[in-house]
Structure 1
Amino acid sequence: MLAPVVAILSLWVLSTAGDSNLDPIKNYCKRLYHQSAVKSGKLYIDGGLEIFTPKNDYGTAEGGEILGYNEWLITLDMQYSWDWETSNFSMNALNITADPTTGTKPANLISGALYAGAPDDSKIYLYGGTTSFLNESFPGFEWPDSAQYALWSFDTDDQTWSQYDVSLNVPYKPAGGAYAEAADQGLAFYLNGWLDNGTSNAFENEYNFLKYLDGMVAVNTNTQQARNLSTSSLNNSPRVKGALAYIPGVSSKGILVAMGGVTKPTSDSSLDNEGTYVSFDSVDIFDIASMDGAWYNQPVSGDIPGPRTDFCVVTVSAPDNSSHNIYLYGGQGANNLYDDVYVLSLPSFRWIKMYQGESPRYGHTCHLVGNKQMLTVGGDASEDLMSGCDWEEYGVAILDMSSMVWGHIYHALDGEYQVPTKIYNVIGGDGQGNAHQMKPTGGFSNDQIAQFFNETASTGSGKSTTPSSSTSSKISGGAIAGAVVGSVIAAGLIAALILYLIRRQRKQQKNTNPPSSPPTTTETAEAPPDYKPARLDGAFFRNRGQAVELTSQQVSALTELGISNPAMLHEMDGRPRGPAELPDTRPADVFTTKSGKN
Structure 2
Amino acid sequence: MYSPRTFPRTFPSVLLLVWLLLGTSFGQNDPVKNFCRRWGHQSAVVDRKLYIDGGLINYEDATNNLTNTFLSFNDLDAVNSGGMPPFHANLSKNDTIPSVNGGILWEDSVNKRLYLYGGESYQSRPLSFDLYSYDIIYNQWVSFGAPPQEVQAASYGAGVSISSRGEAYYYGGWLSNASVPGWSGPPRASNGLIKYEMDSNTWSNMTGPDDKGRAEGAMVFIPAGDGGMLVYFGGALDLYGNGTLTPQPLDEIFLFDVANAKWYTQKTSGNTPQDRRRFCGGATWAKDHSSYNIYIYGGGGFPPDTTGYDDIYILTIPSFQWIRGPYPTYKNGTGAFPKSMMSCNVVDDAQMLVIGGTYSNATDKVCDVPAIQGAHNMNLGKQNKEDAIWALYQPSLTTYIVPIDIRTAVGGNSAGGATTTTPISGFDAPDLAVQMERTAGSGTRTATRVTGTSTKKPSPPSNTTKPSSGLSTGAIAGIAVGSTVAFILALLGVGCLVYQRRKHYSQNHGVAAPPPPPMAVSGVTGWTSPVSPSYTGGQAWPASPPSELTSEHRSPDMHYQSITPKNDFQVSRIGEGAPPAELAGEGNMHDYHYHDRQSPMEGASPSNDWSR
TM-score for both structures, normalised by structure 2: 0.63
AA aligned to 1:295 is: W
**Counterpart in the other structure of 1:491:** none
In the alignment, the residues of structure 2 paired with residue 186 and residue 381 of structure 1 have an alpha-carbon distance, to the nearest angstrom, of 36
Q: Is it true that 1:360 corresponds to 2:329 in the alignment?
A: no
Give the structure 1 partner of residue 126 of structure 2: 144
Q: What is the one-letter code of the residue matched to 2:219?
A: L
Residues 58-100 of structure 1 show CA distances to partners (whole Å, capped at 9, x for unaligned) of xxxxx4544211111011111x2314516872422434137xx
* Amino acid in the other structure paired with 2:283: T
Which AA in structure 2 matches 1:439? T
The AA in structure 2 aligned to 1:114 is L
Contact kept? 1:81, 1:409, Cα under 8 Å? no
Please state how far the C-alpha of 1:143 moved relative to its aligned partner. 3.9
Change over 3 Å in CA distance of 1:426–1:565 after alignment to 2: closer
SS of 1:296's equivalent in the other structure is strand
**Structure 1 residues 541-593: Cα deviation after superposition (integer angstroms, max 9, x where no partner):** 92589xxxxxxxxxxxxxxxxxx9999779xxxxxxxxxxxxxxxxxxxxxxx
Query: Where does structure 2 lack aligned partners over 5 or more consecutive residues?
Result: 1-23, 329-334, 442-507, 515-546, 554-612
1:374 aligned partner: 352
Pair 446,24 (structure 1): closer, same or farther in 2 beyond 3 Å: same
Structure 1 residue 392 displacement after superposition: 6.0
Evaluate the alpha carbon distance shift between residue 382 and residue 20 of structure 1 in structure 2; reply closer, same or farther with a 3 A threshold.
farther
User: What displacement does 1:317 show?
Assistant: 0.6
Distance 1:358 1:197 in 2: 35
CA contact 1:32–1:48 (8 Å) conserved in 2: yes
Q: For the Cα contact (< 8 Å) 1:71–1:108, is it kept in 2? A: yes
Q: Distance in 2 between matches of 1:263 and 1:247?
A: 24
Q: Who is 1:517 aligned against?
A: none
Counterpart in the other structure of 1:527? none
Which one-letter code corresponds to 1:216 in the other structure? L
Contact 1:113–1:126 at 8 Å: present in 2 too? yes
Runs of at least 5 residues in structure 1 that lack an aligned partner in the other structure: 1-17, 54-62, 99-104, 134-141, 455-477, 482-538, 546-563, 571-598
User: Counterpart of 2:139?
Assistant: 159
Identify if the C-alpha distance between structure 1 residues 448 and 169 changes in structure 2 by more than 3 Å, giving closer, same or farther: farther
Identity %: 29
8 Å Cα contact 1:257-1:286 kept in structure 2: yes
Q: Residue 383 and residue 128 in structure 1: after superposition, are their counterparts in 2 closer, same or farther (change >3 A)?
A: farther
Displacement, 1:213?
1.6
Does the Cα contact within 8 Å between 1:242 and 1:259 map onto a contact in 2? yes
Change (3 A) 1:265 1:412: same
The runs of at least 4 consecutive aligned structure 1 residues that moved more than 3 Å come to 18-21, 63-66, 383-387, 478-481, 564-570
Q: CA deviation at 1:162?
A: 1.3
Distance 1:349 1:169 in 2: 38
Q: Secondary structure at the match of 2:406?
A: helix
CA offsets 1:308-329 (integer angstroms, 9 cap, x no match)? 0111111111111111101111
* Partner AA of 2:46 in structure 1: K
| Cα distance in 1 between the residues matched to 2:276 and 2:406 | 22
Aligned to 2:576: none
Please state if 1:91 is matched with 2:88: yes
Which of 216, 221, 224 is the aligned partner of 2:201? Answer: 224
1:431 correspondence with 2:414: yes
CA distance in 2, matches of 1:566, 1:177: 19
One of 511, 530, 533 as aligned partner of 1:542: 511
**Bigger radius of gyration, 1 or 2?**
2
Partner of 1:183: 163
Query: Separation in 1 of the partners of 2:364 and 2:146?
Result: 38
Q: How many residue pairs are counted as aligned between the two chains?
A: 416
Q: Distance in 2 between matches of 1:426 and 1:313?
A: 20
Within 5 A, what are the aligned runs for 1:14-25?
19=25, 21=27, 22-25=29-32
Match of 1:276 among 242, 246, 250: 246
CA distance 1:81–1:479, shift in 2 (3 Å): closer
Q: Is the CA contact (8 Å cut-off) linking 2:151 and 2:194 kept in structure 1?
A: no
**Structure 2 counterpart of 1:124, from 114, 133, 150:** 114
Give secondary structure in 1 for the equivalent of 2:433.
helix
Partner of 2:497: none
Residues 30 and 390, structure 1, Cα contact 8 Å, conserved in 2: yes
- CA distance in 2 between counterparts of 1:179 and 1:377 reads 17
C-alpha separation between the residues in 2 aligned to 1:569 and 1:318?
Answer: 48
Q: Select which of 205, 210, 213 maps to 1:238.
A: 213
Q: Cα–Cα, structure 1 residues 32 and 435, in superposed 2: closer, same or farther, change >3 Å?
A: same
Query: How much has 1:210 moved relative to structure 2?
Result: 1.0
Residue 477 of structure 2 is matched in structure 1 by none
Amino acid at match of 2:137: D
Partners of 2:190 and 2:196 in 1: CA distance: 17
| Counterpart pick for 1:47 among 54, 58, 62 | 54
**What residue is the counterpart of 1:298 in the other structure?**
266
Counterpart code for 2:297: Y
Letter of the structure 2 residue corresponding to residue 107 of structure 1: P
Note if contact 2:70-2:89 (Cα within 8 Å) is conserved in structure 1. no
The partner residue of 2:289 within 298, 303, 321 is 321
Q: Does 1:254 align with 2:228?
A: yes
1:390 aligns with 2:368: yes
Q: Which amino acid aligns with 1:542?
A: V
Determine the C-alpha separation between the residues in 2 that align with 1:386 and 1:310.
23
Give matches, 1:396-415, under 5 Å: 396-403=375-382, 405-407=388-390, 409-415=392-398
Give 1:204-223 correspondences, 5 Å limit: 209-223=186-200
Q: 1:540 to 1:309 in 2, by over 3 A?
A: farther
Check conservation: 1:331, 1:363, Cα contact below 8 A.
yes
**Structure 2 residue 122 is matched with structure 1 residue 115:** no
Conserved 8 A contact 2:92-2:139? no
Distance 2:395 2:429 in 1: 41
1:29 CA drift (Å): 0.6
Q: Secondary structure at the match of 2:340?
A: coil
Aligned with 1:448: secondary structure?
helix
Tell me the equivalent position of 1:340: 311
Counterpart amino acid of residue 299 in structure 1? K
Distance 1:424 1:540 in 2: 54
CA deviation vs aligned residue, 1:23-77 (integer Å, no higher than 9, x gap):
1221111100001111111111110010111xxxxxxxxx454421111101111
The within-5 A match list for 1:493-512 is: none
Q: Distance in 2 between matches of 1:87 and 1:569?
A: 41
The CA deviation at 1:372 is: 0.3
Q: For the structure 1 residues 84 and 276, does the alpha-carbon distance in structure 2 shift closer, same or farther, using more than 3 Å as the test?
A: farther
Deviation sequence 1:149-189 (CA, Å, 0-9, x none) = 1x210001111111223432643111111111222111111
Match 1:29 to one of 30, 36, 41: 36
CA apart distance, 1:380: 1.5
Counterpart amino acid of residue 234 in structure 1:
D
**Given residue 392 of structure 2, which amino acid in structure 1 is its aligned partner?**
I
RMSD: 2.9
Structure-2 separation of matches of 1:540 and 1:127 = 23
